[in-house]
């Protein structure tokens, strides 16, 4: 069964026990707009709004809009981390890359 964005959004919000107002405040939208999205009466939300919702609920955009319903939670978490990494400046990305390489070496005993 294909679940709509409206249903996914409502399920995520209720699973986290958040009010419409809490979600609206977190992403900078109106409570009424979040309600309209959940009811399916607001169509074609901006990609910026979808991105903010995905970040807020810590899911991938693809999962939120139903493009990859079989994604497992590890992949979800990695996609959220990837979005966070993209927002860092290049120097911070290099530092994190070095940290990851160090962890990989330690794990492999090298």
- CA dist 76 and 59 (Å) reads 6
Is the distance from CB of 64 to CB of 53 less than 8 angstroms? Answer: yes
58-79: pLDDT as tens digits:
898 888 887 764 545 566 777 7
Report the C-alpha gap between 3 and 38 in whole angstroms.
12
pLDDT of residue 29: 95
pLDDT of residue 31: 96
pTM of the model: 0.62
Look at residue 56 and tell me whether its pLDDT is greater than 90. yes
What are the pLDDT digits (tens) for 16-41?
999 999 999 999 999 999 999 999 88
pLDDT at 1 over 60: no
The answer to whether residue 7 scores a pLDDT higher than 80 is yes
Residue 36 CA to residue 94 CA, distance in Å, equals 42
Burial class (CB in 10 A: 0-12, 13-18, 19+), 33: middle
Say which residues have a Cβ less than 8 Å from residue 27's Cβ, sequence separation at least 6.
49, 52, 53, 56
- For position 2, what pLDDT does the model report? 46
Tell me what percent of the residues of the chain surpass a pLDDT of 70: 87
Q: How many CB atoms are closer than 10 A to CB 4?
A: 12
Alpha helices in 1-110 (DSSP H): 5-15, 20-27, 31-39, 47-57, 61-65, 73-86, 90-108
Q: How far apart are CA 79 and CA 75, in angstroms?
A: 6
Q: What would the CATH number be for the domain defined by 1-70?
A: 1.10.260.40
């Amino acid at each position: 069964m294909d679940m709509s964005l409206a249903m996914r959004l409502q399920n995520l919000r209720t699973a986290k026990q958040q009010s419409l107002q809490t979600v609206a405040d977190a992403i900078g939208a109106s409570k009424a707009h979040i309600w309209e999205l959940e009811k399916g009466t607001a169509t074609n939300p901006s990609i910026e709004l979808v991105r903010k919702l995905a970040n807020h609920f810590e899911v991938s955009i693809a999962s939120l809009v139903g493009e990859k319903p079989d994604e497992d939670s590890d992949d979800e978490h990695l996609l959220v981390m990837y979005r966070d990494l993209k927002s860092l400046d290049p120097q911070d990305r290099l530092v994190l890359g070095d940290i990851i390489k160090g962890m990989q070496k330690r794990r492999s005993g090298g």
